[in-house]
Amino acid sequence: MSDTIEIYDSTLRDGAQAEGITYSLEDKLLIARRLDQLGVHYIEGGWPNPTNPKDLSFFREVAKLGLRARVTAFGSTRRADRSPGEDEILNTLLRAETQSVCIFGKSWTLHVEAVLKISLEENLQLIEDSVAYLVGQDREVIYDAEHFFDGYQANPGYTLQTLLAAQRGGARLLVLCDTNGGTLPSEMDHILRQVKEATGQPFGIHTHNDAGMGAANSVVAVELGAVQVQGVFNGYGERCGNANLCTLIPTVELKLGRRTIGREKLRELMDFSRFLSEIANVYHDHRQPYVGESAFAHKGGVHIDAMLKDPRCYEHCDPEAVGNERRFLVSDQSGGSTIASKLAQVCPGLNKRDPLAQKVLAEVKRLEHEGYQFEAAEGSFELLARRAMGTYQDQFSLVNFRTITRKSGGAMEETEAILKVEVAGQIHHTVAEGDGPVNALDKALRKALEQVFPCIRQVHLEDYKVRVLSSSDGTAARVRVLIESSDGRDSWGTVGVSENIIEASWIALADSLHFKLMRETAQQTSSEAASGT
């Protein structure tokens, strides 16, 4: 038995069936390139039927990329009232000109009789001759036994006959599909053992996550001899999604000791996961196993204290193995060890009992009691710490600001911000207009600072979130504003809290620029020290 488990990716077909996800042709080609670089073995490109010109175009264009992975066209068995040679679905699959073809057929008597409305014998015949027709056209055929596990529980004998029909037709691989995603691992184990006895042929697994068992069922299948795992990166897919390849690949590699894409490529997994989220234009799931930003994030003081002594205490694998990183979160649950570890970069060797660590910890807990949150605002935390240590002095300070929003008739006119800030003893008085008070303040502040600090031009806003902290207070509620900023090289988060949303936004906005100036000053000092000036 080979140690390599084939990874069959269905991100471009099954994944695109997820609610809220749509890929353009350019998106699909870009994802296909990245999938190939990651090292998957099969890339299911879509269902090339006459009513889907985008997928037909995809197969034409992807052939020009020279990918190493086997690009696969997906479709169904023939229609019951047509021979294989006359069937439009099968012949369109051939026109995709892929070496590999994956077709699905009905395994469950319910679908045969209620959906196809044909006899059970007719269904066996169309499975066998559809596979045989494609094999006769020199295609590798992967047969997806749709609804296999539900079908087996309803009528095991007939469900096994459908597999044998595909086997007689010449299918290279029989893939067992938990299409409704409701099978339990114990049921999976029992059924797969019966299938192995009946067919004696290598099999693959295709699971959905409707009962939250998609990845677990696929792991059971691999343990029982599955040679191919079908799934979708980030777990996208119809309803609750498909088995998540971001979970399955590292589990198979690191836990079962079987090769998938290889350990070196495994280190690119988190980067690919974030790339796919960006292309799909959906929020990257921070709580995904292995590749979520929270997968190796530690918050409790007791946990962090133990982690600093031995990472095995609260981590099941090395985060670097999947391209992730360990993070210690600062919060009101933090202890001295958390603060000391977070301050290690700016103050190496700091002990958790050091008065400075205790001072910063006390300030963090005070601010979090007021509603601040530093988990996603490490820029604000570092500023807080450096200010406490005396290693950073704010390079600008607010004198005052005023915002004016004019509304006439049904249209909202632009908001004007009037701002005074002090820089090196000089008052800079600026006015700017924007789409709302925060945008106007941002523009006015940049206008005041960019002439003095050109590096500010590099900073742009990536995300802006507002959280109401005391909803019972209605419009007078305290709010927390989280801002994520980037200079194209690094990203950082800052936070502000106030009953006034404009003030909370100002605090987070000002800190985002303070952080950039602090980093620039530190880099300049480091360069001067290195050059001996």
Cα 352 to Cα 301: distance, rounded to the nearest angstrom: 11
pLDDT digits (tens, 9 = 90+) for 159-171: 999 999 999 999 9
Residue 332: is its pLDDT beyond 70? no
Closest CA to 32 of 276, 204, 210, 262: 276
Contacts of 382 (CB under 8 A, 6+ apart): 346, 515, 518
> Quick one: pLDDT at residue 330?
61
Q: How confident is the model at residue 42 (pLDDT cuts 50, 70, 90)?
A: very high
**Coil, strand or helix: which one is 434?**
strand
> Quick one: pLDDT at residue 414?
78
> Quick one: pLDDT at residue 376?
65
Domains and CATH numbers, the chain: 6-261 (3.20.20.70), 297-389 (no CATH), 397-531 (3.30.160.270)
Residue 311: is its pLDDT beyond 90? no
Between 19 and 409, where is the model more confident? 19
- Gyration radius (Cα) of the chain, Å: 29
**Coil, strand or helix: which one is 373?**
coil
pLDDT digits (tens, 9 = 90+) for 466-520: 888 876 667 778 888 988 888 888 888 899 999 999 999 999 999 999 999 998 8
> Quick one: pLDDT at residue 224?
96
- Judge whether 107 and 152 are in contact, CB under 8 Å: yes
Cα 284 to Cα 278: distance, rounded to the nearest angstrom: 8
Put simply, whether the predicted model's pTM sits higher than 0.85 gets the answer: no
HEC sequence for 173-241: EEEEEECCCCCCHHHHHHHHHHHHHHHCCCEEEEEECCCCCHHHHHHHHHHCCCCEEEEEHHHCCCCCC
Residue 204: is its pLDDT beyond 70? yes
Average pLDDT, the chain: 89
Percent of the chain with pLDDT over 90: 63
Cα 42 to Cα 229: distance, rounded to the nearest angstrom: 10
The identity of residue 462, as a single letter, is E
The identity of residue 269, as a single letter, is L
Six token digits for residue 532: 């001996």
Six token digits for residue 387: 């200010």
> Quick one: pLDDT at residue 527?
62
Closest CA to 9 of 237, 178, 170: 237
Cα 18 to Cα 491: distance, rounded to the nearest angstrom: 29
Encode burial over 491-518: b for 16+ CB neighbours within 10 A, e otherwise. ebbbbbbbeebbebbbbbbbbbbbbbbb
Rounded to an integer, the average pLDDT of 66-80 is 96
pLDDT digits (tens, 9 = 90+) for 226-260: 999 999 999 999 999 999 999 999 999 999 999 99
pLDDT digits (tens, 9 = 90+) for 421-471: 999 999 999 999 998 899 999 999 999 999 899 999 999 888 888 888 876
Between 348 and 128, where is the model more confident? 128
pLDDT digits (tens, 9 = 90+) for 131-140: 999 999 999 9
Q: How confident is the model at residue 1 (pLDDT cuts 50, 70, 90)?
A: very low
Torsion angle (degrees, nearest 10) of CA 113, 118, 119, 123: -100
β-pairing, 140-146 with 397-408? unpaired
Percent of the chain with pLDDT over 70: 91
pLDDT digits (tens, 9 = 90+) for 384-396: 888 887 878 899 9
